[in-house]
A and B are shown apart, each in its own frame.
Chain A
Amino acid sequence: MTMTTLAEQIPDAHALTAGLQAHDYLAEPGLSTALFCAVRLPQPLLLEGEAGVGKTQAAKSLAEMLNTPLIRLQCFEGIDASEALYEWNYPRQLLGIRVAEARGAALAEESLFSREYLIERPLLQALEHPGPNPAVLLIDEIDRADEEFEAFLFEMLAESSVTVPEIGTLRAKVPPVVILTSNRTRDLHDALKRRCLYHWIDYPSLEHAIRIVRLRVPQASPELAAQIAGAVQRLRSLDVQKPPGVAEAIDWVHAASLLGIEALNANAVEQTLGSVLKYREDQDLARAQGLDWVSGD
Chain B
Amino acid sequence: MTDEQSTDEQFTDAPVSIDPAARLAEIVATFGHFLHRAGVPVTPERSTRFGAAVVVASPEQLDDLYWLGRVTLLTSHDQVEVYDRVFQQVFKGIVDFADFRGDSNAPPPVSSSPSNEKLPTDKDRTGETRSGPKGTSATPGDQASDDDQDEEDPSLLAAMSDEERLAGKEFAACTEEELALIRRLVEQLPLVPPMRIGRRSRRHRSGSRLDFRGTLRRSHRTMGDPVDLIKRKRKQRPRRIVLIADVSGSMEPYARVYLHLMRGAVQALHAEAFVFATRLTRLTRPLKVTQPDLAYRKATTAAPDWSGGTRIGRALHEFIDDFGRRGMARGAVIVIVSDGWEIEDPASVGEAMARLSRLAHRVVWVNPRKASNSYEPLVGGMAAALPYVDTFVPGHSMHALQEVMEAIRSGEKRPPGGRPPGNRVTA
Bound CA span A2–B58, Å: 20
Q: Which residues of A have CB within 8 Å of B216?
A: 90, 93-94
Determine, out of A36-44, A132-140, A230-238, the stretch whose residues face the partner at the interface: A36-44
Q: Is the CB of A40 within 8 A of B57?
A: yes
Q: Is the CB of B43 within 8 A of A33?
A: no
Q: Which residues of A have CB within 8 Å of B43?
A: 194
Q: Which residues of A have CB within 8 Å of B323?
A: 184-185
Bound CA span A239–B46, Å: 38
Q: Is the CB of A143 within 8 A of B71?
A: no
A101-131 vs B, CB cutoff 8 Å, 1 = contact: the mask equals 1000000000000000000000000000000
B151: interface (CB < 8 Å): no
Q: Which of B47-80 contact A (CB under 8 A)?
A: 49, 52-53, 56-59, 63-64, 67-68, 70-72, 74-77, 80
Q: Is the CB of B63 within 8 A of A90?
A: no
Q: Which residues of A have CB within 8 Å of B325?
A: 241-242
B213: interface (CB < 8 Å): yes
Interface of A is mostly: mixed
A-B contact pairs, 22 of them (CB 8 A): A12-B59, A13-B57, A29-B64, A33-B57, A33-B64, A37-B53, A37-B57, A37-B71, A43-B49, A45-B71, A51-B326, A93-B216, A184-B323, A185-B326, A186-B328, A193-B76, A199-B71, A202-B102, A239-B317, A281-B351, A281-B424, A284-B424
Bound CA span A30–B45, Å: 21
Bound CA span A131–B323, Å: 40
Assess A13 versus B327: contact at CB under 8 Å? Given A41-B56, A90-B213, A94-B216.
no
Q: Is the CB of B67 within 8 A of A185?
A: no
Shortest distance from the beta carbon of B233 to any chain A beta carbon, whole Å? 14
Which of these, A30, A80, A196, contacts B67 with CB under 8 Å? A30
Q: Which residues of A have CB within 8 Å of B114?
A: none
Shortest distance from the beta carbon of A211 to any chain B beta carbon, whole Å? 14
Interface of B is mostly: helix
B382-416 vs A, CB cutoff 8 Å, 1 = contact: the mask equals 00000000000000000000000000000000000
Number of interface residues of A (CB under 8 A): 53
Q: Is the CB of A144 within 8 A of B100?
A: no
B182-200 vs A, CB cutoff 8 Å, 1 = contact: the mask equals 0000000000000000111
Q: Which residues in B have some Cβ–Cβ distance to A below 8 Å?
A: 43, 45-46, 49, 52-53, 56-59, 63-64, 67-68, 70-72, 74-77, 80, 100-102, 198-200, 212-213, 215-216, 219, 224, 226, 272, 284-285, 317, 320-321, 323, 325-328, 351, 355, 424
The residue of chain A having its C-beta at the shortest distance from the C-beta of B58 within the complex is: A12
Bound CA span A232–B240, Å: 34
Q: Is the CB of A41 within 8 A of B49?
A: yes
The residue of chain A having its C-beta at the shortest distance from the C-beta of B327 within the complex is: A185
Q: Is the CB of A205 within 8 A of B49?
A: no
The residue of chain B having its C-beta at the shortest distance from the C-beta of A80 within the complex is: B200
A275: interface (CB < 8 Å): no
Bound CA span A77–B224, Å: 35
Assess A91 versus B424: contact at CB under 8 Å? Given A30-B71, A37-B72.
no
The residue of chain A having its C-beta at the shortest distance from the C-beta of B282 within the complex is: A187
Bound CA span A2–B199, Å: 41
A296: interface (CB < 8 Å): no
Bound CA span A40–B215, Å: 46
Q: Is the CB of B63 within 8 A of A29?
A: yes
Which of these, A12, A78, A194, contacts B57 with CB under 8 Å? A12
Q: Is the CB of A198 within 8 A of B71?
A: yes
Q: Is the CB of A187 within 8 A of B71?
A: no
A183: interface (CB < 8 Å): yes
Q: Is the CB of A78 within 8 A of B213?
A: no
Q: Is the CB of A33 within 8 A of B224?
A: no
Bound CA span A193–B351, Å: 36
Q: Which residues of B have CB within 8 Å of A43?
A: 49, 72
Shortest distance from the beta carbon of A230 to any chain B beta carbon, whole Å? 16
Q: Which residues of B have CB within 8 Å of A34?
A: 67, 71
Bound CA span A239–B355, Å: 14
Q: Is the CB of A41 within 8 A of B53?
A: yes
Q: Is the CB of A187 within 8 A of B284?
A: yes
Shortest distance from the beta carbon of B237 to any chain A beta carbon, whole Å? 8
